[in-house]
Amino acid sequence: MGRSGRIGARTKLLIWLIMPSLILITAIILLAQSNTTSYLRQTQDSALNGMVVQSVRLMESQMNDLVLNVLGIENEILHGEKGPADWIRSMQAAAQTRPELVRGVVYLRNDGLTAGYPEYFWDSFGQKEMGIIRGQSRDSANGVVWSEPFTSTMGSTGLNSLVSIVTKQVINEEGKQEGVLAFVTDVTSIVQRSAAFAGSYDTRTLLYDRNNRLIYSITIVARNSFETLEFAERNTQTLSAAKAYFEKNGEYYVISDMNQAPFWKVVIVGDVKTLENKYRPIVQFAVMILLLGSAGLIFLYIGVSWWFTKPIVSLTKGIRHIATGHLDHQFEVARQDEFGEMAREFNRMMRTIQELIGTLKQTEEQKRQADFQMLLSQINPHFLYNTLNTIDIMVDFKSKEEIHRVMTVLIRLLKYGLDGTNVLRRLDEELTYVKDYLYIQSVRYDDRFEFHVEDPPGELASVPVLKLVLQPIVENAVFHGLRPLSGRRGILSVNVRRCGRDLEIIVADNGVGMSREKIKSLLKTGIPAEPGTSHSGDHIGFRNVHERVQLYYGVGYGLSIESDSATGTTVTVRLRMDETEDGPGGPNRQIAAGR
């Protein structure tokens, strides 16, 4: 991740490499699973269709055998010359031939003769069975009729045996009904012998009557083809309920009608989940292959990503390090490919930039020193002109002693101003220089103005400041602030204060003040005053000091002016307190003004 929460190039590369591969592998496995499952379902449907056809055919085959037995006994009764005892032996032979299907045979002649096998069955015949036989005899229309299955004691499983009675009218050659022949068949045996067996999974065979009611159902368990589980679920009591139940639970089923009487319906239900469970290990194996393949791809992609993105990440970190100002940073070059070539070219570029920066710094420093010396040189002629003009005026009005004193002070001022050994002087020396200058001005104007220069506190006296930063400001205050003043005595004060690591010198007068436009023009750099204008001198002094301070201390330092015509002008000089070798008690001694 990047520094701003963005996704890094390495992570993006991994995502673009891994995600398509994972999606492709997953799609292939899911498609294979889907196709396999679809194939299994188609196979299941085909198998179920085959099983239901087989089951129906087996049931119809068994029922046809019963019908043939009925017809054979009918022929024996009509055309044989034997009596009831012989009929019973034929019935016995038919029953013993298919004992699991034929539970009993009986012939009821219209004159009341009854013959059947086994004889003990007919002793237990109830009104229900006899009613079914007589009812089917009336409705048979000379054909074979199957009754709806019902429970009876004549079945193979006892009291709750499920049986069906098959009846056939016995018609003589003259077309008259002589009686009715009835078979009792075990429906359970018919279904069980015809139930579908899939071999590899469980199957259910359900038998419904012509009214779509459940007759019988059986389940064959795959693990033992001889083990059957009978069931009668409430959800399968009707065919419509059974279909809804099977579809809801996702079970596969096939329905087939029995085209011959008794028009029952056979439903085969296959448990395809067993096959799907057998397929599940294959799916699990495929998933395991997917996971192992994905892990291998991830490790492979991580290695590829690391190989390609490591030099890019290293280059990015180096650029960020350079952006913090460490221009001497160099990249380690260990590769001989395009990344190594890029690192070498970057190192070469940084060396060129360092050389250019060094040359630029040297050039700027030389220019700064030249500008500084030029500005410094502008002060001396300007100040000398004003001072000599003052002395010239004094020759006509002052005594020789006073002129001598002024000349002594002037020499001291010139010596201080022309000393080029150091551009920095102690604060107390700079204030002494101001006192000497104001002494000359007081002599010139016959003490017309009051001058107050505050002695700095002991800890500030030795603070180094740029020389000649106060004299132009004081000169401007006298000539342009106090001299035009009328109606009140002019006062000028110089005070010093400390503001954190900065030093502020305040020069305040109660003169005529300045307009805002004039203040802006005084401090506006780059536009020198035109020679001969009334404000050329003050422009030179203010702008000179302001530019000198900013050249030496930087932006944020210099002069600030507040002025009002009623209260006068306050100029604040803001300097930075720098440490120098010239501390308290240094070689520069303090000189009292005028002495």
Q: What is the pLDDT of residues 287-301, one digit of tens each?
A: 777 777 777 777 776
**107, 116 contact by CB (below 8 A):** yes
What pLDDT does residue 510 have? 93
Binned at pLDDT 50, 70 and 90, residue 136 comes out as confident
pLDDT at 425 over 70: yes
What pLDDT does residue 372 have? 59
What pLDDT does residue 24 have? 76
Mean pLDDT of the region 351-369: 78
Alpha-carbon gap, residue 243 to 248, rounded angstroms: 8
Higher local confidence (pLDDT), 58 or 282 = 58
What pLDDT does residue 124 have? 58
What pLDDT does residue 504 have? 94
Nearest Cα residue to 410 out of 450, 383, 428, 449: 383
Alpha-carbon gap, residue 584 to 357, rounded angstroms: 38
The CA–CA distances, whole Å, from 85 to 77, 97, 106, 336 equal 11, 18, 12, 116
What pLDDT does residue 245 have? 87
Cis peptide leading into residue 587 (ω within 30°): no
What pLDDT does residue 231 have? 56
